[in-house]
Chain A
């Protein structure tokens, strides 16, 4: 009962900020817009069009990730955290409720973005290319898992927000972890590249067939292993954030 009430509180808090809806609307619009552009401009019949149609997920993730960070850190910058913890003193419950509400919202929005982007690309392909269908092998899986990535990176952001507590620093760590480390990791630890969130998304989640590019590529994870890896990142951040939240002063 107390957990359900805590979730209702978090839902009201999330939905009563205009910035939430702006961010989510831009996430969907951007992802779909890129899908549309891919559909209109595809000329290579041999390419994995599903994978290309989902190209907008990569920048789109940044928005749900940052929204996840701010959902937590804005409580600290505004002082709302003290009101929140006065209502629900069991701090693990607070973070669990936040994660559940935020996770459901970003999963729905992420799936809407991924499916609409795919359909936008599939219905606009020209140049005599056969449009992929959701019933084709691996397509439904690729679209669904890409949609789920919005939620998982969002939850990673939420966990980082709970750990770091300052908006700019937490956004910095998120961007570094998701977008920057991957640019340099190849030089230092080639095999670790397969575990980088962006490469998981591009080469494990959103592909309909295994990506192979010879010796220059690491062995990419399978789609489900990639999903498990992203989930693990989110869980680690949330557990660490919950652990710190329960031990630190508010």
Chain B
């Protein structure tokens, strides 16, 4: 369970997140959609306490992230950007994170196996392909067997096989009763993976609904998304006319 209340964050003049309130419930995949620059990554960082909100608050499992004693055991996160040192092996990276939250060392090999990185675990992570880096990020998120998972653009740059792998992983994690909150640009991907949707534009909540409900009145989920976010697209390319 993730509960955001009036979450607000400014960077200089930019209001990245604007009085955002929403709940993310356990047991289903909740997609987090919004145009470029709408505040998805910022919201993720606010949930993890990496950035500080200017107003409002967000709770995970009823508590603020900073109050969690062993955070990885309750919340697993994979952010957009890489979060590992290129000179360190995948195994050492995960071993360090596990030690930091008193997670048994055997769990490192379990998650390496789960994401299919066992054979590459001893290699310097800086040499990993984009997909392997994503898999390492997923492994780190799963390390503490958490009830809440946050993933920022997990399929970015993945090949079709990787995309399907993430999709199946997320739906099975949700089926186990976990809270799965995943941001994406890919509406078609969300249509396949998510059951619920939180849609934002310019940092504001536009919809907190189900995929079925949102697509009901439109030709497709994509059409519904464009209708919803039409007024809040910040960086739009000119339509090409021929």
Contact between B81 and A86, CB atoms less than 8 A apart: no
Contact between A78 and B82, CB atoms less than 8 A apart: yes
Whether a CB of chain B sits under 8 angstroms from the CB of A211 is: no
Contact between B83 and A18, CB atoms less than 8 A apart: no
Whether a CB of chain B sits under 8 angstroms from the CB of A42 is: no
Which residues in chain A, 4-54, are within 8 Å of chain B measured between CB atoms?
5-6, 8-13, 16-19
Measured CA separation A3–B75 after assembly (Å): 19
Q: Which of A87-95, A177-185, A191-199, A235-243 contacts B (4 or more CB under 8 A)?
A: A87-95
Measured CA separation A89–B46 after assembly (Å): 12
Whether a CB of chain B sits under 8 angstroms from the CB of A83 is: yes
Contact between B83 and A82, CB atoms less than 8 A apart: yes
Whether a CB of chain B sits under 8 angstroms from the CB of A136 is: no
Measured CA separation A123–B47 after assembly (Å): 61
Whether a CB of chain A sits under 8 angstroms from the CB of B50 is: yes
Q: Which chain A positions have C-beta within 8 A of B99?
A: 5, 8-9, 11-12
A12-B83 contact, Cβ under 8 Å, with A6-B100, A249-B52? no
Measured CA separation A11–B70 after assembly (Å): 18
Whether a CB of chain A sits under 8 angstroms from the CB of B218 is: no
Whether a CB of chain B sits under 8 angstroms from the CB of A130 is: no
Q: Which chain A positions have C-beta within 8 A of B88?
A: 13, 16-17
Contact between B66 and A79, CB atoms less than 8 A apart: no
Contact between A19 and B84, CB atoms less than 8 A apart: no
Measured CA separation A2–B100 after assembly (Å): 8
B167 to chain A, nearest CB (A): 24
Which residues in chain B, 95-137, are within 8 Å of chain A measured between CB atoms?
95-97, 99-102
A86-B82 contact, Cβ under 8 Å, with A6-B100, A16-B96, A18-B87? no
Residue in contact with A79 in the complex, picked from B69, B72, B82, B100, CB distance below 8 Å: B82
Which residues in chain B, 170-220, are within 8 Å of chain A measured between CB atoms?
none
Whether a CB of chain B sits under 8 angstroms from the CB of A189 is: no
Q: Which chain B positions have C-beta within 8 A of A11?
A: 99
Q: Which chain B positions have C-beta within 8 A of A108?
A: none
How many chain-B residues does the 8 Å CB contact rule pick out? 35
Contact between B101 and A80, CB atoms less than 8 A apart: no
B45, B81, B89, B102: which has the most chain A beta carbons within 10 Å? B102
Whether a CB of chain B sits under 8 angstroms from the CB of A213 is: no
Q: Which chain A positions have C-beta within 8 A of B221?
A: none
Measured CA separation A169–B20 after assembly (Å): 37
Q: Which chain A positions have C-beta within 8 A of B52?
A: 249
Q: Which chain A positions have C-beta within 8 A of B66?
A: 89-90
Q: Which chain A positions have C-beta within 8 A of B95?
A: 12, 16
Measured CA separation A17–B89 after assembly (Å): 9
B206 to chain A, nearest CB (A): 25
Q: Which chain B positions have C-beta within 8 A of A82?
A: 45, 48, 50, 79, 81, 83
A12-B85 contact, Cβ under 8 Å, with A87-B97, A250-B50? no
Contact between A79 and B81, CB atoms less than 8 A apart: yes
A85-B49 contact, Cβ under 8 Å, with A18-B87, A78-B82, A80-B85? yes
Contact between A88 and B100, CB atoms less than 8 A apart: yes
Q: Which chain A positions have C-beta within 8 A of B102?
A: 1, 5
A12-B84 contact, Cβ under 8 Å, with A249-B45, A250-B51? no
B58 to chain A, nearest CB (A): 13
| A/B interface sample: 23 pairs, CB < 8 A | A5-B101, A6-B100, A12-B95, A13-B96, A16-B88, A16-B96, A18-B87, A19-B87, A75-B85, A78-B85, A78-B86, A79-B84, A80-B83, A80-B84, A83-B83, A83-B140, A85-B48, A85-B50, A86-B48, A86-B72, A87-B72, A89-B71, A249-B51
Interface residues of A (CB under 8 A from B): 1-2, 5-6, 8-13, 16-19, 74-75, 78-80, 82-90, 249-250
5 tightest A-B CB contacts, nearest first: A9-B100, A16-B92, A87-B100, A12-B96, A83-B83
